[in-house]
Structures are given as C-alpha cells and as structure tokens.
Structure 1
C-alpha cells in the first residue's frame, strides 16, 4: 500500500523562510520609520534682507541657536523676498530694519513656518534688549517696544489649516498606482491593451480623486482640472512602470516595481516634511521618483502657481514613458501573463470551426 501523505516541508526551508520574513519585516520598519526618526531641519533656504551688520548678527545668532538648520539667501528687500517665497526658492524670509518682519509660508511647510515663528520671537526679544540698552545709555526714561510682525505669505487653505490632507493624500496615490498596475498586469493581455488600460485608469482615477480630495475633503483648493491632471500623471507614472516591469520580467518584475515604489520611493518622497529634513542626499533623490515628484507637483498646483513646475512634470512623464516603453519591449514575453501581440490582437475574433474532412468513397 502506497503512502499518499503529503511530505513535510524540510526544516532547512522552514528556517530559511523564517529568516527571510524577518528580513522583510526589518526592511519595512526601517523604510517607514527611518525618515521620521532622522527628520530635522538642514540647510533650509530662507531669505534675509536688511543692513549688513544686522544681517550678520541675526545669521550668527540663529546659527548658534540651531546649527546648520538655515541657509540664508540675501535679497534686496521685502518684495524680492515675497517673490522668492511664491516661486518656492525659499521657505520664508527675515526682513530687518525700522519695522522688522518675518515672512512664512505654511503652504510650503507648516513645520518651517513654526520654526520661523520661533525665530521671530527670538528676534523680537533681542531687538527689545538692544533698544533697552540703548535707552539706558542715553539716559532715557521711556524704552521703545519693538514688535516683529509675522506674515504668512502663502497660507494653507481654511479647509485644510494644518496641511494634513495634502500630505496624507500621497500614500493612497502610491497604493492606487500600484493596485492599478498590478491589476492590469494580471488581467489584461497584450502590450497595447495594457497601455490603453493604464492610460484610461489613470485619467479616470485622476478625475475621481480630484473631486474627492478637492471638492469633498477640501485638501486640494486649487483648480480641479489641474489637480486631476497632476493626480492622473502620478498614477500613470506608477502604474505604467509596474505593468512595464511585469511585461519585461514577469512576476519578478511585478514585485520589483511594487517594492520600488513602496519601500524606496515613498519613504523619501518628502510628502509630509520638506526634503531638507531628510539626510542628504535622500531628500533630493526622492524628487526623482513618482511619489516625490507627484507630491511636489500637487503642492505647486494648489498653492504656488508662480513656481516652476517643469522638474516634477518631466520626472512623472519620464517614468510614465519608461513604463509604457517597457510594456512594448516586453510584449513578446509570456512571463507574468503577457502574450505576443500577434495572438492578443486576434483574441476577440470569432472562433472558427475546423473544416470537415471530405467523405471517403
């Protein structure tokens, strides 16, 4: 009598799988916790204007209070500082003179706006101390009080006063792009049909999500059509890359594409904090991936129409084109469910019955 019992998994394989799963969990925890643990301001671009002596004193004082946090850029005056903020060249500005003022931009980063608000309090305290010393030296009974105004040049929308909606929207977009790419890779057969599915899915999802995030939640206060386009391009960049990798490498490409977006690109996307908060060069590297470029483009579309959108647009377009080209290159591969276009092009043709054999005499 033969033994039909299923053989047990070898102990070596069990141990190897367990160790591999431990490594996977470690990588996931590291990828999602490392950016927040190491997050701190580094070389934040901030404009400064005023008398040279006063500028030097403020730069030295703030650098001593927070070493390496701010990288000052000297500008001619308030108007130039405002322009630099609106074009996203700087996060804020310090204006010195008879009426000192600190300019912030909570739409660019609430964290940096809070940091500059604290700097304004320090500046006001130092200015009043200097005024009191000068009055005492001159024997004056009345000490003038100096107030440092804080102006939010580009504030967040009233419907999203803390900016949490805009920051939180990015990870669902990454998951949406992944889900679309994986579903298309599994269900749709034929390179050109996969490309069509990715484009239609991204466009439709862009229209729907712009309505939800903007019209319903109020997280995207900008133009609906611009938001829909930005979301659609982000989804296409992610989903097309995943379907392209699946067409080229099969199941392995599918996993590699998804892991690239979730474990590499998303943690360094700087969707929640400025890229300067991440250790160099990861903040800049993150802007070359779809999640980082998509987050930057969405912020620019909604709050910074004067900013240069060229870089995030080129990055997203580049990833989308690469993904679509990979789908074409890998069209002849059968791995991962793909089949040659010659077969896919005729899969909807009506079936034909084989011709009957002629009758024999």
Structure 2
C-alpha cells in the first residue's frame, strides 16, 4: 500500500526555497543600504559658520573658503567676536572666523569634531593668506625686511568633556538607547495583554530606564554632562517615544504593528538621525527629516543638554512628546475598537488559557 508523507515531514517546494533565499538577500541589501548610504554619501554642505570683521576682509575670506570647499559653509555675518561666541553657544553656528587686527578661528568640538577639523584647515589657509598679503604689502612699500609672521589661533569655544574627549561615549550611547526603546516596546507588546496595561508598562519602563541609564551614562561613564534630572527626563521621553508607537500600532493592528520598530525607527530614522555626524552632512533634505523622528531628536536633545544650555531645545522636546502622545493615542483607540485583525482585549485575555482535556465517556 502506498504511503503518503505526513504534513510535518513534507519537503519545502524548490520554488519556495529559492524565493525565500532571494527575499532574505533583499532584506540584507536594504539593511546594508540603510546603514552604509549615509556615511558613504556624507559630505559637508551649508554648514552655518559665523564670521566677523571688516567688510572687505569678510568678502575676501568668504570667497577664499568657497573656492576651497564649494558649498560646504554658509556664512552668518555677526558684529564681533562676542556675537560669534554667542552664535556657537546657542547652536546657530558650528564655529566662527574672526577677522581684523587679531584674526582667530573659533570651533566647537562638542558640536562636531569633523566640523572643528574642517575649520582648523580654514585657519591654516587664513594664516597663509594673511601672511602672504602682509609680505606683498611690505614688498610694495619697499620695506627692508619681511613683516613678522602672524599666527591665527584656533580656540575651542565649547570643548568636549575630559571624561569623553573624542565624543565617542555620547555618540555610542545613541544606538543602545534606540535598541532599548525598541526592545521595551516589542517585549511589552508580546508579554502584556491589554492596550492600556501596555501604556502603563511603557510609562514605568521609560521612567525607570531614564533614571538608570542616566546614572550609567553620566554618573559612571561621564558621557553626558549637565543636569542629571534633565538628562534623565530626556532619556525617559526618548525611550517612550520609541516604545509607545510600537505598542500603539500593536493595539491597533495586532502583532504586525511590531514592525514599526525595526522598519521605521531602526532602518529609516536611525541612519539619518545625525547622532554621529552633523545633519548638514546628509543629502538634502534627509538631515532635517531625521530630526522629526525620535532617534534624531534624542541625539540632538542630549547633546544640547550636555554642552549647550543656552540652545533652544523646544523642537526636540516637542518631537519626542508628539511621538509618545501618538503612541498612547493609538493604544487608546485600539483599546476601544479592533482594526486590521487586532484581537479585542477580552479575547486576548484568554488566548493563553490551557485547553481542557476531553472527558472520557
């Protein structure tokens, strides 16, 4: 008698095998593109840099810099050195060029080491140009000797902390923060039944996580600076802004909503967050787009709170609040109605109940 293979031992059709393999290759390609594209295509464009000095000197410096690095810098003309420092401390500019009798280049390694290095190169070119101009003027006047060499100092107005001199601690903290929000949202979605209970769980997770992570990053590693409680609030809100949308979409759509974390937060928002390089390094408009998502807003907010207390942090706070509130709203909506196949709370509450064995007759 012919035997038929049991369904559990049936082999997967070759077409499905090939299709799955090709689909996985596509997923890997998307991941590689998402994480490699920003760094491969990154180059400075329209970096805001303050400049002060006599009009003729300012015009000449702007032309020289634009010739050396076309489109890399957008100059913000200010009255004097004090105004240039203020522009840096409020994050209106990454640095400044001060011209006049005592030229100087101002940088801010806390804003970006890459931009600080770029401005260091500008200082070298400025020094060469100033001395060449002075030598030419002295020769034209028939001076018996060359004028003394004029140095153009580079001053780091807002330096990185001694506990994190390369800024690696602050940058490295952003990815675990993203993963923490995702893991929290996914774990709460899978382990807790009831949309409103998930909201409570996200709240407790975010608050306690904010306090603990700030204690580690600031008190132990020294990666964060400034006020502990403000940093803790920022981290707590960042965790909530990532976790709450995941639990909200799960409440609305069922377990398919878990994809919000890996797809939206990890593959899309994280590569353009500006955590490692300034947003101006990304092709327009992606650097600005990244600031509208939790990873970008969190990176900007924590950097500002640590090093730039005079900067306006309203926008990143609002972005994080909006994502958190949106996730909570989705949970509330999902609590009262079923959409896209999501289980009602009353049904889901008994999903894991043991099935009673049939009673023998």
Q: TM-score, normalised by structure 2?
A: 0.92
Q: 1:320 aligns with which of 324, 328, 332?
A: 324
Residue 355 of structure 1 corresponds to none
Residues 143-154 of structure 1: matches in 2 within 5 Å?
143-154=147-158
Once the two structures are superposed, the pairs formed by residues 42-191 of structure 1 within 5 Å of their partners are 42-140=45-143, 141-191=145-195
DSSP 3-state at the match of 2:155:
strand
Instruction: Give deviations 1:273-315, integer Å, cap 9, x for gaps.
Output: 0000000000000000000000000001000111111000000
| Greater shift in the superposed pair: 246-255 or 164-173 | 246-255
- 1:289 maps to which residue? 293
1:201-212 equivalences in 2 (<5 Å) = 201-212=205-216
Unaligned runs of 5+ in 1: 348-361
User: What residue number does 2:345 align with?
Assistant: 340
Contact 2:139–2:146 (CA under 8 A) maintained in structure 1: no
Name 1:357's counterpart in structure 2.
none
In 1, the alpha carbon distance for the partners of 2:346 and 2:151 equals 72
Moved over 3 A (4+): 332-339, 341-344
Aligned mates of 2:100, 2:213 — CA distance in 1? 47
Q: Distance in 1 between matches of 2:17 and 2:266?
A: 27
Q: Write the distance in 2 (CA, Å) between the matches of 1:274 and 1:118.
A: 18
The C-alpha deviation readout for 1:153-177, integer Å capped at 9, x for no partner, is 1110000011111111111111000
Q: 1:255 deviation in Å?
A: 1.4
Q: Say whether the 8 Å CA contact 1:238–1:320 is kept in structure 2.
A: yes
* Partner residue in 2 for 1:17: 20
Deviation digits for residues 80-107 of structure 1 (CA, Å, limit 9, x no counterpart): 1111111101101100000001111110
Cα deviation per residue 1:168-198 (whole Å; 9 max; x = unaligned)?
1111111000000000000111111100000
| TM-aligned CA deviation for residue 336 of structure 1 | 8.6
Contact preservation (8 Å) 2:253, 2:339: no
Query: Contact between 1:189 and 1:339, CA under 8 Å: does it hold in 2?
Result: no
Distance 1:247 1:133, change over 3 A: same
Question: TM-score, normalising length from structure 1?
Answer: 0.92
CA RMSD, 1 decimal: 1.8
- Structure 2 counterpart SS, 1:145: coil
| 1:3 correspondence with 2:9 | no
What is the SS of the residue equivalent to 2:292?
coil
Quote the offset at 1:56 in angstroms. Answer: 0.8
- Kindly state the Cα deviation for residue 226 of structure 1 after the two structures are TM-superposed: 1.1
Q: CA deviation at 1:337?
A: 7.8
Q: Distance in 1 between matches of 2:304 and 2:341?
A: 38
Q: After the TM superposition, which residues 207-356 of structure 1 pair with which residues of structure 2 at under 5 Å, given as runs?
A: 207-331=211-335, 332-333=337-338, 339-340=344-345
Question: What is the distance in 2 between the residues matched to 1:229 and 1:303?
Answer: 16
Spell out, residue by residue over 1:41-69, the C-alpha distance to the aligned partner (whole angstroms, 9 max, x if none): 00000010111111111111111111110
Partner Cα separation in structure 2 for residue 328 and residue 249 of structure 1: 13
Offset, 1:250: 1.4
